[in-house]
Structure 1
Amino acid sequence: MTFCRMFKKDEVGFAPEQLPPPGAKRPMCWCGDECCFQISDDWDSYGQRYWMCRNYSYSPEKPKPMPKGRKGKAKIPVKEPEVPPPICDFVEWIDKEMSEFDKRLIKSWREHQEEREERQRQRAIKEKAERERREELELRELASLNREKEERAEDR
């Protein structure tokens, strides 16, 4: 059985939760290709197992033409890129819900992310206030220097 991506391997072999259910038949996609087994890493469905088409893509990548021939020639013939397979969005979920452990894990991640974002907001506010304070001090210093110059000019 082939997989679309690498899975963690423990001392005994693949962890059972990282494999398709025993006896599960690999479904065929609408486009005629066999599906591959995946585990979701999206926060809304984290850890859920599913089948997806090998041709599944979020955005198609256009293949770049590859030049062939020698570099010294004035005209470099370009090899035509191979046509990519059709894009398919077939997904069949094996697990219908996230496990309680994964739900708690995602909740913890979200809390940490919110705390981190709040610290970043507070840091940005402090840095802005400090920058404004420094600018104000510089302006005051320039104003006092200008006053001193004017006073010296009047004294002459």
Structure 2
Amino acid sequence: PGLLAFAAKLPGQILPMEITAGQGYMVHRHGFLCATLGVQFSIGFQQRLGAGVFGGTGFRLQKLTGQGQSWVALNGEVVVYDLQPGNTLRVHPSQVGMFQESVQFNVVTVPGIQNMFFGGSGLFLAALTGPGRVWLQSMSMQHLAHAIQEYLPKASG
């Protein structure tokens, strides 16, 4: 009998997710807000991509398993896809908000594409293969920082 409030770091949506035995979720690195006692939280995926990607820290996903209620923050607009078995969705890794554990996930390099933002190491895409539900987000911390950079005060001298 009280009120507990949580807020996301960026504009977007906070989604309540029912975690059940056998149906966990993989969530973007800043997505987990809170959960009831029966939900376990761990690192579900980690891969270094290149010095310029995600600030040199690589790409990480959080894993939510167990049984209970969890709340997840997704940034910007949220688009949901229900992937059929064998269907693959390829998106920029920062657009991956969350997906069911049944979805296979890989980070792949698009061969032949060189990009200065990626240190000349190529363009990386997240490949999500069904079956299962995928939630994409339209904004990431990195994209927001890049978008507002020109409006921030510049150091003088």
Q: TM-score, normalised by structure 1?
A: 0.24
Q: TM-score, normalised by structure 2?
A: 0.24
Hey, which of these two has a bigger chunk of strand by percent?
Answer: 2
Larger relative contact order (Cα-Cα within 8 Å, sequence gap ≥ 6): 2
Which protein shows a greater Rg?
1
